[in-house]
């Protein structure tokens, strides 16, 4: 393992893409920044632009409108990039999987490195998913 990839795993900057989300996952992501879970211990930060991002966190069901945006974001991001499908909607489609406007779970559109299931996932589950991502 080279120095570059070592540093990469030590400082993951997260960009959060909310698809057609019900916002419950988004609130649980913010929980990870609070004193109780403090995700900055692992060098993680939430960033506002995809150009700085190392992790693309996709929450919410992806419908036909979101699909193109998600693909565009994926192509705009500097590589190497890790993609995390977040919540039941991101992983499988959840209760929207049969819907008319549903455009497939995240892994049908872009390659996914880690799945964090739950509706919404608990902050503990998010930390467990992060540990999986770091040991990948």
Partner 1 sequence: MVKELFYFLIFPGMIFSVIVGGVLSWSDRKITARVQFRKGPPFLQPFYDLGKLFYKETILPKHGAKLTFLAAPVFALFSATLANVFILLPSVFPGSGFRGDLIVIFYLLAIPSLTYLLGSLASGNPLGALGASREMKLIISYELAFILSLACIIIKSGMSLSVSDIIAAQQEQGAFIGSLSGALIFIVILFVNQAKLALVPFDMSEAETEIAHGVFIEYSGSAYAIIKMARYVMLFALPAMLVTLLMGGFSFSGTGILWSVLKLLLILLLITLIRNTNPRVRIDQAMRFFFIWMNLLAVIAIVLSLINL
- Please state the closest distance from residue 106 (CB atom) to partner 1, in A: 22
Binds partner 1 by CB under 8 A, chosen from 18, 47, 63, 134: 47
Q: Give yes or no for residue 71 binding partner 1 (CB under 8 A).
A: no
Residues between 76 and 135 with contacts to partner 1, criterion CB under 8 A: 76, 78-80
Among the listed residues 76, 74, 71, 72, the one whose alpha carbon sits nearest the alpha carbon of residue 51 = 76
DSSP letters, 52-70, are G-SEEEEESB-BHHHHHHH
Q: Give yes or no for residue 3 binding partner 1 (CB under 8 A).
A: yes
Among the listed residues 6, 21, 12, 28, the one whose alpha carbon sits nearest the alpha carbon of residue 83 = 12
- Please state the closest distance from residue 92 (CB atom) to partner 1, in A: 30
Q: Give yes or no for residue 54 binding partner 1 (CB under 8 A).
A: yes
């Amino acid at each position: 393992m080279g120095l570059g990839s070592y540093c990469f795993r030590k400082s993951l900057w997260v960009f959060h893409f909310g698809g057609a989300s019900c916002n419950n996952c988004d609130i649980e992501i913010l929980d990870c920044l609070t004193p109780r879970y403090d995700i900055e211990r692992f060098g993680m930060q939430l960033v506002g632009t995809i150009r700085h991002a190392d992790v693309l966190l996709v929450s919410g069901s992806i419908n036909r409108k979101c699909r193109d945006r998600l693909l565009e974001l994926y192509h705009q991001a500097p590589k190497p990039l890790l993609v995390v499908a977040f919540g039941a909607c991101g992983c499988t489609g959840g209760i929207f999987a049969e819907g008319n406007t549903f455009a497939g779970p995240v892994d049908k559109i872009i390659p996914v490195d880690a799945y964090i299931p739950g509706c919404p996932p608990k902050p503990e589950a998010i930390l467990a998913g992060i540990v999986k991502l770091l040991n990948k």
